């Protein structure tokens, strides 16, 4: 039996696509190899959101080329967003790449990988079927990604995604609900709905099946066995009240939202073409928190966007202080070929970018630590993921608010347990499992009253 080895870069969308690449290859009769050495086909599912993933991939590819130099029968296949972005020159840049495919061409993998793939061949720009409808090889039995849409119709001036993932297309609600029901029957308890902008979901569907994102949340919530629903990413510009109401009313929808801010300066947001202002973003946060009091908020921040002044940057810090995010991914702006921002004047010098990223990380980490410390003493529901990464005798899981908890206890991966939180850092909580139904205790309440 021929064997493949797959390396994945990038976001959850790519991780989801990789499950389908594996599913497709296994359906073609290939087995999974544990190392690249043992594999006949070396597959890379690439990302090109910033320069860093490009460089990381280049380093991996150099290693693969060295393996192929020793064993010329190995096939090197490059898929994903970098492949799509570089389709004109990929085979020129890397002559040892045998086949390449864009994110939309995973359904056609069988057409050439199975055929040996020795002549340079590539398939790109095909967007006719959803990865979510392909066979899957999933790593975890109790958690699953579910694709709700492909592509992106936004025009954020820094972003390469619309160029490499095509126009937005919503998947039919019936297909999504059917997939979630099947997952639930297979033992999945937590789903994460995936789309570049889940809040514009459904707007392109034909009237007969048109469903908005809030209704989709309700339909998933009604499926027996699904105890947790997450989604990523919502675009602040399209986050409307019906979705907030659905989040508040659906028991399974977790108290967590990832709400990319990008910048706190309305001037910069305009140059970024995010189509919301600082005020509108803050109003949305207030509405979300009003409806879902215990909501955890995550975000994405870009520093060093062209033209960003010290004042613009300070506005970003101010919004971070005001919102008090529970977590944040912070990025140095990276020019992407073909995007409008890459051609803008006033690119920010590297030294200024690195000074700003350090400052923003310090603020984000301090607030995240404080937010996590506020959880100490509470009892949180945790979905167990397995042993802790650093200490086998400790378990690891996630709260509904999406924070990782390391805790002592006795439970299996996939169990939902109650954990008393005893300690916190900026990224994780620490605690101990308690019996189901344990409350904070009358003593604690009485103590608070008499104090
Ligand atoms: N569709 C998602 C974002 C996907 S990209 C959304 O709009 O929420 C994930 C994050 O990468 C973005 O939120 C942004 O913060 C960051 N990013 C995208 N392009 C970038 C670039 N050129 N330089 C730096 N960060 C970038
Ligand atoms: Fe990129 Fe903006 Fe689309 Fe997100 S919404 S994928 S940042 S263009
Ligand atoms: Fe994701 Fe990277 Fe593509 S962030 S959509 S894998 S460019």
pLDDT tens-digit series, residues 263-280: 999 999 999 999 999 999
What's the CA-to-centroid distance between 273 and ligand 2, angstroms? 10
What are 33's two structure tokens?
A: 């190899």
- Nearest CA owner, ligand 1 atom 3: 196
Ligand closest to the CA atom of residue 195: 1
Neighbours of 437 (CB within 10 A): 7
Residue 426: the pLDDT is: 96
What's the CA-to-centroid distance between 154 and ligand 3, angstroms? 15
- Nearest CA owner, ligand 3 atom 1: 11
User: Does the structure show a pLDDT above 50 at 249?
Assistant: yes
Higher pLDDT, residue 119 or 295: 295
User: Does the structure show a pLDDT above 60 at 444?
Assistant: no
How far apart CA 246 and CA 256 sit, in angstroms, is 13
Please answer whether residues 231 and 193 qualify as being in contact, where contact means their C-beta atoms are separated by less than 8 angstroms: yes
| CATH architecture for residues 379-434 | Beta Barrel (2.40)
Phi, psi of 247 (to 5 degrees): -60, -45
**329 CA: nearest ligand 1 atom:** 15
Residue 366: the pLDDT is: 98
Ligand closest to the CA atom of residue 85: 3
**155 CA: nearest ligand 2 atom:** 8
**12 CA: nearest ligand 3 atom:** 1
> Which residue carries 């029968």 as its tokens?
73
Say if ligand 1 is within 6 A of residue 159 CB.
yes
Residue 120: the pLDDT is: 55
Phi, psi of 157 (to 5 degrees): -70, -15
Which of 408, 328, 424, 327 lies closest to 375, judged by CA?
424
Tell me which residues have their CB closer than 6 angstroms to ligand 3.
10-11, 13-14, 47-49, 81, 161, 164-165
**196 CA: nearest ligand 3 atom:** 5
What percent of the chain stands above pLDDT 70? 95
User: Does the structure show a pLDDT above 50 at 228?
Assistant: yes
What pTM was estimated for this model as a whole?
0.95
CATH topology of domain 3-123: Rossmann fold (3.40.50)
**154 CA: nearest ligand 1 atom:** 7
How far apart CA 269 and CA 58 sit, in angstroms, is 32
- Would the CATH topology of 131-373 be identical to that of 379-434? no
If you average pLDDT over residues 182-191, what whole number do you get?
Answer: 97
> Does the CA dihedral 118-124-128-129 come out positive or negative?
positive
pLDDT band at 438 (very low <50, low <70, confident <90, very high): confident
pLDDT band at 157 (very low <50, low <70, confident <90, very high): very high
> Which residues lie across from 65 on neighbouring strands?
none
Distances (CA, A) of 12 to 4, 16, 86, 197, 236: 21, 6, 21, 13, 19
Domain ranges of the chain: 3-123, 131-373, 379-434
Which CATH superfamily includes the segment(s) 131-373? tm_1862 like domain (3.80.30.20)
Please answer whether residues 319 and 281 qualify as being in contact, where contact means their C-beta atoms are separated by less than 8 angstroms: yes
- What is the DSSP secondary structure assignment for residue 212, as one 8-state letter? -
Higher pLDDT, residue 449 or 157: 157
How far apart CA 309 and CA 256 sit, in angstroms, is 32
What's the CA-to-centroid distance between 287 and ligand 3, angstroms? 30
User: Does the structure show a pLDDT above 50 at 153?
Assistant: yes
């Amino acid at each position: 039996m021929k064997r493949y080895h797959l390396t994945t870069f990038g976001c959850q969308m790519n991780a989801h696509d990789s499950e389908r690449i594996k599913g497709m290859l296994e359906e073609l009769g290939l087995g999974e190899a544990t190392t690249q050495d043992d594999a006949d086909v070396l597959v890379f599912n690439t990302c090109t959101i910033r320069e860093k993933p490009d460089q990381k991939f280049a380093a991996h590819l150099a290693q693969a080329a060295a393996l192929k130099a020793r064993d010329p029968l190995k096939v090197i296949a490059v898929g994903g967003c970098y492949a799509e972005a570089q389709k004109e020159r990929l085979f020129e840049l890397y002559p040892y790449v045998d086949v390449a495919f864009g994110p939309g061409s995973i359904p056609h993998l069988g057409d050439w990988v199975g055929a040996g793939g020795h002549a340079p061949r590539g398939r790109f720009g095909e967007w006719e079927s959803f990865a979510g409808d392909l066979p899957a090889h999933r790593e975890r039995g109790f958690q699953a990604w579910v694709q709700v849409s492909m592509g992106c119709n936004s025009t954020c001036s820094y972003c390469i995604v619309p160029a490499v993932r095509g126009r937005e297309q919503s998947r039919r609600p019936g297909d999504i609900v059917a997939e979630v029901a099947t997952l639930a029957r297979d033992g999945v308890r937590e789903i994460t709905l995936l789309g570049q902008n889940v809040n514009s979901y459904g707007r392109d569907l034909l009237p007969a099946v048109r469903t908005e994102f809030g209704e989709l949340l309700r339909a998933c919530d009604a499926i027996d066995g699904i105890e947790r629903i997450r989604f990523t990413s919502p675009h602040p510009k399209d986050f409307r009240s019906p979705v907030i109401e659905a989040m508040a009313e659906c028991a399974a929808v977790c108290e967590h939202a990832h709400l990319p801010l990008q910048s706190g300066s309305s001037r910069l947001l305009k140059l970024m073409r995010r189509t919301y202002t600082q005020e509108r973003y803050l109003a949305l946060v207030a509405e979300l928190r009003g409806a879902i009091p215990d909501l955890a908020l995550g975000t994405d921040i870009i520093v060093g966007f062209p033209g960003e002044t010290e004042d613009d940057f300070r506005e970003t810090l101010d919004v971070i202080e005001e919102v008090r995010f529970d977590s944040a991914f912070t990025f140095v702006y990276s020019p992407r070929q073909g995007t409008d921002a890459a051609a803008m004047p006033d690119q920010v010098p590297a030294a200024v970018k690195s000074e700003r990223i350090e400052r923003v990380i310090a603020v984000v980490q301090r607030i995240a630590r404080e937010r996590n410390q506020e959880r100490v003493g509470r009892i949180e529901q945790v979905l167990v993921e397995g042993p802790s990464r650093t200490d086998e005798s400790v378990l690891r899981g996630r709260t509904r608010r999406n924070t990782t908890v390391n805790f002592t206890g006795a439970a299996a991966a996939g169990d939902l347990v109650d954990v008393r939180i005893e300690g916190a850092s900026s990224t994780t909580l620490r605690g101990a499992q308690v019996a189901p139904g344990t409350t904070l205790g009358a003593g604690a309440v009485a103590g608070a009253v008499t104090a």
